[in-house]
A and B are shown apart, each in its own frame.
Chain A
């Protein structure tokens, strides 16, 4: 079916770059369509460490990447202040014999401090504090769980973020500026002109199976790990060096500081507090498989635990909730170790390859997504004769207008303060709109997900305002089912709420619930152990022994 609308720009991919470009382009007045085959932030944009950091690691190879990331981090803080939280890091320096350090250990100490000194120059860009030299006793005071073999410690300042919400807010802002945002729409072909000109895309609606064509003057491929596949549909080649990164999530905050450790191969890994949990990350290994079939293996889990055990001996007793993996879309280079690969981004114009009007943006970092998007949108705007300036660094994302007074809101709307606190973190100034929903319908004040302190009101707000098209999207908006019980209590009530809001039948609700429960389980499977086994038995009891989700009436 031909469409009557002609878009200026079609964006393929709903990660941080896709949503970022859609927002920038729409704000400049370009008629923009964003297509994503699943939900926003379903790929690497939702499977990273959740940090807006400057990348001190890259100073060794790529000073420019660090500088760019620090500058853009500052802008991201300005446009979405509620979504960022400070994560101070400790870099412990250990020795087999702290009293008599070897020359090499001294070299590492001073070398690291020199690098941190250089990094301090960039810190003001992102409101970061300069590093501090700590004595072993000071480190043990701050983090008593650290192994007692230190001769010194260094502190470093970084910022965390909820990357799912960052993407969702960019998409929401894009839509408010007139962009069409279609999630669960997969591109499977291109419309071409007589000279090979890319003039649009063929799309399948993954939920209904319906096919459509959309016309656009320019098309940009920001499909991340899927970018080579998308490019090949247009008959052009995009080469990248995909790197698999694995993280583990613990059931609680193990420490107040992020702590850096060395893995068995000398790579730096970390454990850090993130919202209500701690995250351990990350691996970096070349990945040759299908990006749709990304699994975490036993040795990846063991590699991370062994590395953290080095500084946190008690890590083996911690309760690991789940594990997750993403693919870094690093630029192609032969003959380099994974860690040494550049984190730079690149924009490819495929005109020379016979596909004018088609572009790919590849590589880059979460912390520089805004400037990456701006660079591409500059290219597109110029091509389209649009001279509007970029405003994504000055105009705030939804909710970023002001941070609400949590205590005052809690008192005014008689809501528990922890619930309002999480709401304010996730929604900023829009927290008050959620409170108003709860005031109009008091039963919405009840907690839906107790682990993550998500109220029914917040879930209803996300369902109505934040483009939730499957139940699993809800956890990317308000963390439903992400806590220690992993949805044992909240998944079914969330499905019922979703069914009510959308008018779904019982069998449709059941399919959504099974999809949600199944997606969560995939991440638990590689690390199920200890108390989490009992939790899993309870979870299975609720959904299958009682809920009979695998049986019951046929799908109508």
Chain B
């Protein structure tokens, strides 16, 4: 075969390889992005009950709403650290609770429908 044809063929195959690689990579990345999105959604709304054990500081107790407001640590896969009110499973849990108390609490439920199921003061 003539040399120039060889060179042309090599370049064509290189270009084609690059193109195919690029396309395959694009497909792969789209697929991965889709999977990631599905995984994220499943994590939050798939109807799976989840539990978090985190620490926080009591900002307000609202017995009329059965809610305790806490500035809390990250709830992985649900929400970042913030000040948030949570329903309390049993009103006894906030008996004797003072504003400013540092607590360790358990949050259970199917996000976003979660409530505090356990709560204990931490030593100051």
| A, B in one complex | no
